[in-house]
């Protein structure tokens, strides 16, 4: 019997490297992703981010729930030695409050 093949469009991610990405780099990347769509309506922004998240999960081979938990951990686990990342993560929260909750 033939073994099932993986999706050739998928790239499997090294989980060790994924877990070692710095919060500074992650925060900067999240800002780079969100900045160009800040003029979208809240609904457009949420739908756009949802699709981007789904594509990343699908193509990386990492379960969406694992990606979500990793993101939550990085967002909320402040590191007293990396103040820049803490400030950038807080800025992401402020962005969400402004762009999603406070737009009319």
Q: 18-58: per-residue pLDDT in tens?
A: 989 988 899 899 999 999 998 999 999 999 999 999 999 99
85 located within any domain: yes
Task: Please report whether residue 81 resides in a domain.
Answer: yes
Residue 88 lies in a domain: yes
Number of domains within the chain: 1
Query: Could you tell me the CA-to-CA distances from 23 to 2, 12, 41, 82, 89 in Å, in that order?
Result: 42, 22, 28, 8, 8
Q: 0.95 exceeded by the pTM? A: no
Q: Is 25 within a domain?
A: no
DSSP character at residue 8: T
What domain range is 78 assigned to? 30-101
**Residue 63 within any structural domain of the chain:** yes
**Residue 9 within a domain:** no
Q: Examine residue 18 and state whether it is found in any structural domain, yes or no.
A: no
Instruction: Give pLDDT, residue 4.
Output: 42
Residue 13 counted as domain residue: no
Which single residue is written with the structure tokens 């939550």? 72
């Amino acid at each position: 019997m033939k073994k099932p093949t993986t999706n050739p469009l998928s790239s499997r991610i090294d989980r060790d490297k994924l877990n070692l990405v710095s919060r500074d780099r992650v925060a900067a990347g999240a800002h780079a992703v969100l900045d160009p769509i800040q003029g979208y309506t809240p609904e457009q922004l949420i739908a756009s981010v949802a699709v981007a998240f789904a594509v990343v999960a699908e193509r990386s081979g990492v379960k969406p729930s694992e990606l979500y938990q990793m993101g939550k951990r990085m967002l909320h686990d402040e590191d007293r030695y990396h103040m820049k990342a803490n400030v950038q993560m807080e800025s992401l929260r402020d962005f969400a409050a402004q762009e999603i909750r406070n737009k009319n």
